[in-house]
Structure 1
């Protein structure tokens, strides 16, 4: 993963990261509140050797003390020192239990011993520390043999008596909160990265590029009202979704301008990726730009195009392929532009055979000769082979990829279905792109960065909403049948 991938993960998973960070802070706070406070009191003692006072003796005594002081610190936590303290203060604990509350340490090269005592009572902690210092002095005097003068050569001097602490030494609330927040943050980032790693859905152009090298022709913005208004370029021409179809139209015109067939199959990997609505909207915006366009409902299993365009679909492509009708009898003109529609007709028992028949190949040639652009709305690639068979005889397939809906494995399978039969992939179009977030429409190559209302949809500006609705639902049959005589 590159840096921008991690940034995208942070943008997409910021809620999880924030939630786990706050959870860590809360747990740190709860731990601090639930933990009984402990107070630390400390005293200091100085260990020295009594000598006659010559330089040589003082030096030898100092070296001896430094070598032995580590042993003296170990003595402090033994019952020999602690048991007298328990008896003196009347503590109801054992010497072993009291030893767990006591620490004794000395810095290297020094003869000063720090005695620390932790206890829930600040007063008791100070009393125990002072009592241990006194008991330590007595115990050392008993452990070290006296010299010839009858005195102990090791002298213990109390440098600092323990004071009653004002604040507890633990728990450290600030530190616990900080550590809780850091642990929560690390856990949140880890979960976000793991979630991204395990997510196999196609969500942006980088995911598409990881599967296929086919060009990405555009992206269609997600519209929560797409079911209510499938023909968004007609109903809401200034919306981001409508503008995205105009951008796709522009990119598609570059393909049509090349020396290649004028027909394209619009398909997808699985159902529900916006294939049919995208086909209808693309056909409308293309025709509104002056391109003589025909769209054919080649989904002979679950046709939807006639329903979306408000047409009578009882007769259509199947009747034409089996010879029951002429093209001038089943083709219908839609709207006020050069847009013609060929519905699917009756659902046949053998869709794949019809779409791969010689009659279908001849029809494609006739349509390419008559129209500037021929669009086929075909079934998804994974459930059936219809689209792959049809795409082989056209200029290629336009594969619709539903962002957040199709998995990379499914898209790979769909691409393989096309390449296995020798069909060209004219391009990929991402659909259902979110309008907010790191994968939103407006980021990367899909963004256009301009307002939606300036100069867009002028072909609809002087038309009332009621007229637009009527054009959407009413199909116009050509007045002059001679327009289509060349297709007979």
Structure 2
């Protein structure tokens, strides 16, 4: 893995590193602050030959025998100074209580190659440890004079009252905490990235599905995602994204035009219905005759975009309850012909995979330039049944939701069923991401989402008169249905283009519907 890859991981998981850093450094600071300060003082001794050995020749000769062992003598003196006896004698001499004595810590050190001894005393009270260190030195000197006559132990430097404590060491503690927290944070970030099999990068998604990226739809508000964005805000960044998707689909089918396009996703709530609806409007705005078909017979939603009751639809056509003409609605502003799902059947996969469904699609291809189907997700068999009957499939993926294992399973199924994936559409792409190439020259989508929200109340009367989103159901005016159409307009109810009792049915579906 290259260095740039590590940097991307750390930048993506920066919050883990920052969180661990703040927790670790903060905890260390609190722990350090709650510690009692510890001070240290040092009394310095030197071991030297006694002056008495030069006054008597015999003492001088005997002193020469032990001069070679002066290093071991210094070690002995050092051990004496830190012994329990010397410490207790000092405590008694100063009249310290057991609590004060317990706080004192005595240690010794000999400077290498010399006869210099350092006696160190540590404790929380700087005055007490200074007094104790100096008294300990005096007690040690007196005791040593009784043991040896050849070597003297003299105090070189007395201890002085310290100003700053040696513990806790704020700089050292915080520096170690910072370094350790950064190392741990980066390690955890890398581990989380390694264990996370969620697909986030566009190139990674495209490579796994072996299909090009043909669309990037920015994040929309929840209300805007369930509306005809292409009609409400045609100059917005979202509308431009759908026009770009439409153009890419046209380029993808230069040799063999795509007449029937299935829009699906890997799972629920990926926004496929919103993309299918606005894509259909984008095609209609380019001058094409478009039929939008709700083929999701499990959780249909297209009727909500147009504020139409889901009463009659494709399920009725397949069961022979109504004719194709009777089930089609037309949008005046959106410019698309709409076929809803209708009553939900108990066997949607069998109905959508039937020969009759194939004949319906063939009929729609004859009267429309483009037929867009909004199907159930690939988690169920419905989408697979339809995918074999269309010219191409558009797969909607939301980065950060699709797991690698799920994507691989879908890809294996695609290869087995030989489904033609025309391209991938990344939905809810956040602004500032690598895929959001609109942000450089288009306005922010959130600006238009806010405008739509502000206009909603002002346009309430217009929304009601157009069935919510510019939907105008205009039947062919015949002597038998003129009064029926006027009543429907007064009641703001959608009316099928040709009801069973609406008079003579015009058999030229293309001219009538589109």
> If the TM-score is normalised by the length of the shorter chain, which range does it land in?
0.7 to 0.9
Q: Tell me the distance in 2 between the aligned counterparts of 1:251 and 1:58.
A: 104
Q: Tell me the distance in 2 between the aligned counterparts of 1:169 and 1:468.
A: 76
Tell me the residue number matched to 1:388.
384
Q: Tell me the distance in 1 between the aligned counterparts of 2:49 and 2:209.
A: 85
Q: Tell me the distance in 2 between the aligned counterparts of 1:60 and 1:278.
A: 103
Tell me the residue number matched to 1:176.
173
Q: How does 1:214-253 map to 2 (within 5 A)?
A: 214-226=211-223, 229-253=226-250
| TM-fit CA distance, 1:186 | 4.2
Indicate conservation of the 8 Å contact 1:24/1:177, yes or no: no
Q: How does 1:116-195 map to 2 (within 5 A)?
A: 116-144=120-148, 152-195=149-192
The match for 1:354 among 351, 354, 362 is: 351
| TM-fit CA distance, 1:444 | 1.8
| TM-fit CA distance, 1:5 | 5.0
Indicate conservation of the 8 Å contact 1:267/1:400, yes or no: yes
| TM-fit CA distance, 1:125 | 0.8
- Greater mean alpha carbon deviation, residues 372-381 or residues 442-451: 442-451
Q: Tell me the distance in 1 between the aligned counterparts of 2:269 and 2:49.
A: 91
| TM-fit CA distance, 1:483 | 5.6
TM-score by length of 1: 0.81
Tell me the residue number matched to 1:450.
440
Q: Tell me the distance in 2 between the aligned counterparts of 1:28 and 1:417.
A: 53
Q: Tell me the distance in 1 between the aligned counterparts of 2:186 and 2:202.
A: 23
The answer for unaligned runs of 5 or more in structure 1 is 145-151, 434-439, 458-463
| TM-fit CA distance, 1:393 | 2.2
Aligned to 2:223, what secondary structure does the other structure show? coil
Indicate conservation of the 8 Å contact 1:400/1:430, yes or no: yes
Q: Tell me the distance in 2 between the aligned counterparts of 1:194 and 1:110.
A: 54
Aligned to 2:25, what secondary structure does the other structure show? helix
Indicate conservation of the 8 Å contact 2:109/2:118, yes or no: yes
Tell me the residue number matched to 1:266.
263
Q: String of CA shifts for 1:103-128, please: whole Å, max 9, x gaps.
A: 21123223222211112211111112
Tell me: CA distance 1:141–1:206, structure 2 relative to 1, closer, same or farther (3 Å). farther
Tell me: CA distance 1:445–1:19, structure 2 relative to 1, closer, same or farther (3 Å). closer
Q: Tell me the distance in 2 between the aligned counterparts of 1:305 and 1:129.
A: 89
Tell me the residue number matched to 2:483.
none
Indicate conservation of the 8 Å contact 1:238/1:452, yes or no: no
Tell me the residue number matched to 2:470.
472
1:411 has 2:413 as partner: no
Aligned to 1:155, what secondary structure does the other structure show? strand
Tell me: CA distance 1:212–1:106, structure 2 relative to 1, closer, same or farther (3 Å). farther
Tell me: CA distance 1:258–1:43, structure 2 relative to 1, closer, same or farther (3 Å). farther
Q: Tell me the distance in 2 between the aligned counterparts of 1:338 and 1:472.
A: 10
Tell me the residue number matched to 2:35.
35
Tell me: CA distance 1:395–1:97, structure 2 relative to 1, closer, same or farther (3 Å). same
Aligned to 1:475, what secondary structure does the other structure show? coil
The match for 1:397 among 393, 415, 437 is: 393
Indicate conservation of the 8 Å contact 2:231/2:334, yes or no: no
Indicate conservation of the 8 Å contact 1:332/1:478, yes or no: no
Tell me: CA distance 1:484–1:328, structure 2 relative to 1, closer, same or farther (3 Å). farther
1:90 has 2:90 as partner: no
1:74 has 2:72 as partner: no
Q: Tell me the distance in 1 between the aligned counterparts of 2:244 and 2:424.
A: 14
Q: String of CA shifts for 1:160-207, please: whole Å, max 9, x gaps.
A: 110011222222233334444444444544554454444444444256
Tell me: CA distance 1:44–1:404, structure 2 relative to 1, closer, same or farther (3 Å). same
Aligned to 1:156, what secondary structure does the other structure show? strand
Q: Tell me the distance in 2 between the aligned counterparts of 1:133 and 1:346.
A: 101
- Greater mean alpha carbon deviation, residues 254-263 or residues 105-114: 254-263
Q: Tell me the distance in 2 between the aligned counterparts of 1:336 and 1:169.
A: 80
Tell me: CA distance 1:477–1:43, structure 2 relative to 1, closer, same or farther (3 Å). farther
Tell me: CA distance 1:194–1:239, structure 2 relative to 1, closer, same or farther (3 Å). farther
Tell me: CA distance 1:67–1:234, structure 2 relative to 1, closer, same or farther (3 Å). farther
Tell me: CA distance 1:319–1:28, structure 2 relative to 1, closer, same or farther (3 Å). closer
Tell me the residue number matched to 1:147.
none
Indicate conservation of the 8 Å contact 1:266/1:275, yes or no: yes
Q: Tell me the distance in 2 between the aligned counterparts of 1:486 and 1:472.
A: 19
| TM-fit CA distance, 1:445 | 3.2
Q: Tell me the distance in 1 between the aligned counterparts of 2:25 and 2:173.
A: 8
Tell me the residue number matched to 1:339.
336
The match for 1:298 among 290, 295, 298 is: 295
Indicate conservation of the 8 Å contact 2:41/2:121, yes or no: yes
Aligned residues: 462
Give the CA RMSD over aligned residues: 3.7
| TM-fit CA distance, 1:274 | 0.9
TM-score by length of 2: 0.77
Tell me the residue number matched to 1:460.
none
Q: String of CA shifts for 1:122-145, please: whole Å, max 9, x gaps.
A: 11111121122223333334444x
